[in-house]
Amino acid sequence: MNIKKIIAIASAKGGVGKSTITALSALSLSNDFNIGILDADIYGPNQHIIFNIDNLKPEIVQKDSKKYLKPLVSNNIKIASMGSILDDDKAAVWRGPMLSGAIKQLIHSTDWGNLDLLIVDMPPGTGDAYLTVAGELDLDGVILVTTPNRLAINDTIKSIHTFNKLNVPILGFIENMNFPSIATEDIFLDKNIERITQIPFDENIYNMSITNTQNLSDEIKFFLTNIINA
């Protein structure tokens, strides 16, 4: 197993588009590279739904007397999500240590094979999941997602502090569902964080026909290709 680069897609605010952008990013690269998605949202996993593989269960394989989960594959992307393993209601009331245990298991017991890039779809917040992912994975960096809304921007600034404390490089941010009247530039230029792209509110994305929206992720593709090749 060899994973060349690992990045996380994160935001403290929920519902700003982390999972969508994880999927769009993976799709933009999957013709040219070996891409994996680790859905680290244990309470609300989404990747198996976005890729329409929620009826499939991963195979278990034995390697050197250890059991591994074979990630599910969609559009040439390897996907590991608690949503493919547990029934929907199972993880809902887990406490922090169980949550961390589940993330560790997904990280260490998935048979990724060789990947150019593993993209980690983070849950909202800045809590246990962040500590676990940053502690267990050698992250090359994190991409923050925000909407151009004061509350989302405030929460994003909070997550900048979290990642600085965890020594995870912040690669840039994506402004999702952008809205012309509110500028995120000022805030982020001030903190020296690059805006990778702006994605408009898009009907195809909203209806989860994300394979029809790859033109929206050209800039993300360019940005991530440079990271893979760095």
Ligand X SMILES: Nc1ncnc2c1ncn2[C@@H]1O[C@H](COP(=O)(O)OP(=O)(O)OP(=O)(O)O)[C@@H](O)[C@H]1O
Residue numbers of the site for Mg ion (CB under 5 A)? Answer: 18-19, 46
The count of residues interacting with ligand X (CB under 6 A) is 21
For position 179 contacting ligand X by CB under 6 A, the verdict is no
Q: How far apart are CA 96 and CA 116, in angstroms?
A: 31
Instruction: Verify binding: residue 217, ligand X, rule CB under 6 A.
Output: no
Stretch that binds ligand X, among 17-25, 62-70, 99-107, 180-188 (CB under 6 A): 17-25
Report the distance separating Cα 155 and Cα 222, nearest Å.
Answer: 27
Please count the CA atoms within 13 angstroms of the CA of 191 that sit on its side-chain side: 21
Per-residue b/e over 59-90, b at no fewer than 16 CB within 10 Å?
A: eeeeeeeeebbebbebeebbbbbbbbbeeeee
Residue 111 binding ligand X, by CB under 6 A: no
Helix (H, G, I), strand (E, B) or coil at 110: strand
Which stretch in 25-33, 41-49, 103-111, 155-163 sits in contact with ligand X by CB under 6 A? Answer: 41-49
Residue 8 binds which entry of ligand X, Mg ion, none, with Cβ cut-offs from 5 to 8 Å by kind?
A: none
- Distance of closest approach, residue 24 Cβ to ligand X, in angstroms: 9
Backbone phi, psi, residue 117, to 5°? -150, 130
Choosing from 1, 14, 31, 108, the residue that interacts with ligand X (CB under 6 A) is 14
Q: How far is the CB of 59 from Mg ion (least distance, A)?
A: 25
The three-state secondary structure class of 100 is helix
Residue 69 binding ligand X, by CB under 6 A: no
CA distances from 30 to 22, 33, 113, 116 (A): 12, 5, 15, 10
136 lies in the site for ligand X, by CB under 6 A: no
Positions touching ligand X (CB under 6 A) are 11, 14-20, 41, 44, 46, 123-124, 176-177, 199, 201-202, 205-206, 208
